[in-house]
A and B are shown apart, each in its own frame.
Chain A
Amino acid sequence: MRHTISVLVENRFGVLARVAGLFSGRGFNIESLSVGETIDPSVSLMTIVTTGDDQIIEQITKQLNKLIDVIKVVDFMDIDHVEREMVLIKVAPKKNDKLEFLKLAEIFRGRIVDSGPTTFTVEVTGDEKKIAAFIELVKPFGIKEFVRTGKVAIAREGIKKK
């Protein structure tokens, strides 16, 4: 099962290495990771996406909690939440395809953030499925490169157990 885990940590040097080392030392994979400061500048929030069976996820959350620099761990599995990821895609559509590509971007509420003589760079935000669908649909137009931010997640107001 794929889990999105949010980890509140001390905003200090070396903390990311501790978290990453915890995964690598046990052969667990991090699928995506994003880190940023919170409203309290002494605290950072990491959002980690990882895959594993119940026992592995239990170990991951327990081991994270065991790190001295980790303040709080939330596994969003059983929590109603909103997830978002952003992707920047550089596409080089053929001349005749340009309009069609721009329409497609519009459907996905994408924004063109850069354009050159032969390329467009489009910014799309959404959950995992939307990003995956967009990438899939853009492929035939000729993707030159793309970059993803990794997922961030936040609980919905009035947290309910599913």
Chain B
Amino acid sequence: MKKSGAEILIECLKREGVKYIFGYPGGVILNIFDILYDDKDIKVILTRHEQGAVHAADGYARATGKVGVVLVTSGPGATNTVTGIATASMDSIPLVVFSGQVPTMLIGNDAFQEADIVGITRPCTKHNYLVKDVRDLARIVREAFHIASTGRPGPVLVDLPKDVTTGVTEFEWPEEIHIRGYNPTYHGNKWMIRQAAEMIVKAKKPVIMAGGGVIHSGASKEVRELAEMTKIPVTMTLMGLGGFPGTHRLSLGMLGMHGTYYANTAVQNSDLIIGIGVRFDDRVTGRTADFAPHAKIIQIDIDPSSIRKNVRVDLPIVGDVKNVLREMIKILKEKKGQWAAVRNAWLKQIEKWKKERPLTYKYDDKIIKPEFVIEKIYELTKGNAIITTEVGQNQMWTAQYYKFDQPRKLLTSGGLGTMGYGFPAAIGAQIACPDAVVIDIAGDGSIQMNIQELATAVVNKLPVKVAILNNRYLGMVRQWQELFFRERYSYVHLDVVPDFVKLAEAYGAVGMRATRPDEVEPVIKEALKIKDRPVLMDFIVDWKEKVFPMVPAGASIDEMIFEEEEEKPEKKLKAVK
């Protein structure tokens, strides 16, 4: 049967199982929105900004593991998606973004609302397409979903000129696709896996480092099995939180710049690092020359280009983390090691480090400490909420004080570090998981970067909660200025912060405020009761509070600054300069 490009697109989306599109209409994309107007199977979530649409689709994808879908118009509609696409690209999130484009005959003419979005997004997509002929459309849509969701996932952009959406052709659904330049390696090399198992057997002080790849691959069960069987402690990167239970006795929590003392110390003293789905980002390794100086490093990753990109690797294994771990566990089981006896000394040492310097902050009964808010949220949601964050102090305190026991519960922009990510991502997650408690932990700076999405949440009756840790500052930048720039607070004081309670009410949401520690719990409890509207919780927190421990940029990860010595960080900082 003959169909128009717009009809073909929607038919393809249905066959890909798409239920929601996050989008914003405009001139050249109208033919597609026209079909969606009376479509029963696909619902469009109209955001208030295209950036919000991409982050929402990203939140939807992170919460479910499915591909998030975005539909926007050409020119500014398309360019507004770039930050969202780059965010997804850095964190390997499967998205397919459809952008409108001016008619093919006008491309390159500086037509109204024309932007070379394929050129602009080339470095921040896994792949992108300009569809020049309606007969290629079905194949390209199929390929786009395939590429986005397989291998190391990532965003794919498909640019749709207006005449392609109106062009008519015979619709053929390609059952099979073959892309000759794209064949991800799913099964690790068996010999290498055997070698890795040998190294694990020989190691006296091993540490597992679990990253975002564990979540994408759905391998948290395997990581847990490996850790429990071989009695190896597990530290996680920001992207890996939830990949191994944060409350498990083998958990060291997060490592890196704001990692725990015991995670960083364990890594620096270990003799074997088993990196699982991690790229050894600079926020994790600190000064790479001094990273894990006594350790051999095993790196398991599906993306060959991630291997040896940042640190030396003694044994690389390219493959899907889940498959590789299964194989490795099988081999290790045969070894029937006396793991408990072998690890006894190492685990005791780690317990000592844990007791020596646990994560702490000074509670105050007059002024709200931001860490206290997060502890309360953790307690009152029993650790079961889906938490999104913005970027900065709010993000790091969340990573430290909310213990994630399950994967896909922390949605945060780890790689790109995008302020304004958390709130739209929470909207996407709430749409994907209508019964879940979804909370965006925000700062007063970040929340203002996509505050317009309050309207989206109100219209769709989404009970998304936003906990604003309101310190009237761009807190993380202020912290750096305090510690490293002689307290010269250059352009970080927000001075006029809107009255978030009134702002919420203006949008038709609920606004609440806590100014004293004893008000924190009642506000959260009240917010959790609201099921039909978004809630903004404005927590007026201590503006002086800083995130500790902290490894200064460029230092080794055992050169940490702690709260009690914050008066004199110079001693530690010498190493940096």
Q: How far is the CB of A39 from chain B (nearest CB, A)?
A: 15
Q: Are B181 and A21 in contact (CB under 8 A)?
A: no
Q: How far is the CB of B182 from chain A (nearest CB, A)?
A: 5
Residues of B within 8 Å of A59, CB to CB, are 305, 309
Q: Are A18 and B304 in contact (CB under 8 A)?
A: no
Residues of B within 8 Å of A25, CB to CB, are 123
Q: Are A71 and B122 in contact (CB under 8 A)?
A: no
Given contacts A55-B308, A59-B309, contact A68 B122 (CB under 8 A): no
- In the assembled complex, the Cα of A58 lies from the Cα of B318 at a distance in Å of 15
- In the assembled complex, the Cα of A155 lies from the Cα of B118 at a distance in Å of 35
Given contacts A14-B130, A65-B304, contact A71 B309 (CB under 8 A): no
- Of B118, B123, B307, B309, which is within 8 A of A14 by CB? B118
- In the assembled complex, the Cα of A67 lies from the Cα of B147 at a distance in Å of 11
- In the assembled complex, the Cα of A17 lies from the Cα of B126 at a distance in Å of 14
Q: Are B119 and A68 in contact (CB under 8 A)?
A: no
Q: Are A68 and B304 in contact (CB under 8 A)?
A: no
- Of B118, B123, B303, B308, which is within 8 A of A66 by CB? B303
Q: How far is the CB of B568 from chain A (nearest CB, A)?
A: 38
- In the assembled complex, the Cα of A69 lies from the Cα of B118 at a distance in Å of 15
Q: Is B127 an interface residue when CB atoms closer than 8 A count as contact?
A: yes
Residues of B within 8 Å of A63, CB to CB, are 305
- Of B181, B303, B305, which is within 8 A of A68 by CB? B181
Residues of A within 8 Å of B1, CB to CB, are none
- In the assembled complex, the Cα of A69 lies from the Cα of B182 at a distance in Å of 8
Q: Are B127 and A68 in contact (CB under 8 A)?
A: yes
Considering the complex, give the chain A residue whose CB is closest to the CB of B182: A68
Q: Are A10 and B181 in contact (CB under 8 A)?
A: yes
Q: Is B382 an interface residue when CB atoms closer than 8 A count as contact?
A: no
Contacting residues of chain A (19-62) with chain B, CB-CB under 8 angstroms: 21, 25, 55, 58-59, 62
- In the assembled complex, the Cα of A58 lies from the Cα of B309 at a distance in Å of 9
Q: Is A70 an interface residue when CB atoms closer than 8 A count as contact?
A: yes
- Of B119, B127, B130, B180, which is within 8 A of A71 by CB? B180
- In the assembled complex, the Cα of A82 lies from the Cα of B540 at a distance in Å of 71
Q: Are A69 and B181 in contact (CB under 8 A)?
A: yes
Most buried by B among A17, A59, A66, A69: A66
Given contacts A14-B118, A14-B130, contact A62 B305 (CB under 8 A): yes
Q: How far is the CB of A42 from chain B (nearest CB, A)?
A: 10
Residues of A within 8 Å of B308, CB to CB, are 55, 58
Considering the complex, give the chain B residue whose CB is closest to the CB of A58: B308
Considering the complex, give the chain A residue whose CB is closest to the CB of B118: A14
- Of A10, A18, A58, A62, which is within 8 A of B122 by CB? A18
Q: Are A68 and B179 in contact (CB under 8 A)?
A: yes
Residues of B within 8 Å of A71, CB to CB, are 180-181
Considering the complex, give the chain A residue whose CB is closest to the CB of B129: A14
Residues of A within 8 Å of B118, CB to CB, are 14
Q: How far is the CB of A106 from chain B (nearest CB, A)?
A: 45
Considering the complex, give the chain A residue whose CB is closest to the CB of B122: A21
Residues of B within 8 Å of A21, CB to CB, are 122-123
Residues of B within 8 Å of A69, CB to CB, are 181
- In the assembled complex, the Cα of A18 lies from the Cα of B181 at a distance in Å of 14
Considering the complex, give the chain A residue whose CB is closest to the CB of B132: A13
- In the assembled complex, the Cα of A81 lies from the Cα of B182 at a distance in Å of 27
Residues of A within 8 Å of B309, CB to CB, are 59
Residues of A within 8 Å of B305, CB to CB, are 59, 62-63, 65-66
Q: How far is the CB of A16 from chain B (nearest CB, A)?
A: 11
- Of B119, B127, B182, B307, which is within 8 A of A17 by CB? B119
Considering the complex, give the chain A residue whose CB is closest to the CB of B156: A68
Contacts A/B (CB < 8 Å), 19 sampled? A13-B130, A14-B118, A14-B130, A17-B119, A17-B122, A18-B122, A55-B308, A59-B305, A62-B305, A65-B304, A65-B305, A66-B304, A66-B305, A67-B181, A68-B126, A68-B127, A68-B182, A70-B181, A71-B180
Measured CB to CB, the residues of A under 8 A from B are: 9-10, 13-14, 17-18, 21, 25, 55, 58-59, 62-63, 65-71
* Apart from the given pairs A21-B123, A68-B127, A71-B181, 16 other A-B contacts in the complex at a CB distance below 8 Å: A10-B181, A14-B122, A17-B122, A18-B122, A21-B122, A58-B308, A59-B305, A63-B305, A65-B305, A67-B181, A68-B126, A68-B179, A68-B182, A69-B181, A70-B181, A71-B180
The 5 A-B pairs at the shortest CB distance, nearest first, are namely A62-B305, A68-B127, A71-B181, A68-B182, A62-B304
